[in-house]
Amino acid sequence: MAYRSTERVKARLSASRERIIVAALGIMAEHGYAGCSVAAVAERAGVATGSVYRHFPTKADLFAEVFRTASQREVDAVARAAALETSAAEQMAAVVETFSGRALQSPRLAYALLAEPVDPAVDAERLVFRRAYAELIAGYVAAGVASGELPPQDPELTATALVGALAEAMVGPLAAGVAGPETIPALIAFIHRALGVSP
């Protein structure tokens, strides 16, 4: 027994794995999911095609993880921004501003995460992403209802519908490349009405 994987090797392995994920994310942000062949990801990561399969059993598994990582980052950013606010109305305004601001900052990535046609197995990960947003929003809605700031409603349904509204309202601007400056305030107004925020 002359070889057993040691810390140094393990570190290199996990660095490779990380580079592959970062490379995949980078290509997604630049060329969308469509540009993400395994060969392209491998080349950008500086490894051979076959090495990708040391770390991920299939391409779908790799991209499930990529989606998970990227999505988590988005949800975290939105949650962080919303947590600075106190009322449900302000929290939701922060959600919209952060979500749209980040999406417009990286439109290609946002489009890939939200709407680009992808492998069905990866698409499933999108549901998780959207549900994470919905959970976040549902929390704010429930608190708002409990405190009397918002009228009685099913927080889950409201949150799900709002996620859909937000995503749909962004797809147009993302395709166009920019959103008119009035889009985001108008969207916030819409969402405030939908929540039943009293004017």
Partner DNA sequence: GCAAGGATTGAACCATCATTCAATCCTTGG
Partner DNA sequence: CCAAGGATTGAATGATGGTTCAATCCTTGC
Interacting residue ranges for a copy of itself, rule: CB under 8 A: 34, 116-120, 123, 127, 130, 151, 153-154, 157-158, 160-169, 171-172, 182-183, 186-187, 189-190, 193-196
Are 41 and 121 in contact by the 8 Å Cβ rule? The answer is no
- Binding status of residue 59 toward DNA by CB under 7 A: yes
Residue whose C-alpha is closest to residue 148's, from 196, 83, 110: 196
Smallest distance from DNA to CB 56, Å: 8
Rounded CA-CA distance 91/152 in Å is: 18
Nearer to a copy of itself, 57 or 120 (CB): 120
> Residue from 14, 18, 31, 48 that binds DNA (CB under 7 A)?
48
The site partner of 168 among a copy of itself, DNA, none (C-beta below 5 to 8 Å per kind) is a copy of itself
186 vs 195: CA distance, rounded Å:
14
- The interface region with DNA, picked from 42-50, 107-115, 158-166, 173-181 by CB under 7 A, is 42-50
The beta strands (E) that lie in 15-156 are given as none
Exposed / middle / buried, residue 193 (Cβ in 10 Å: 0-12, 13-18, 19+): exposed
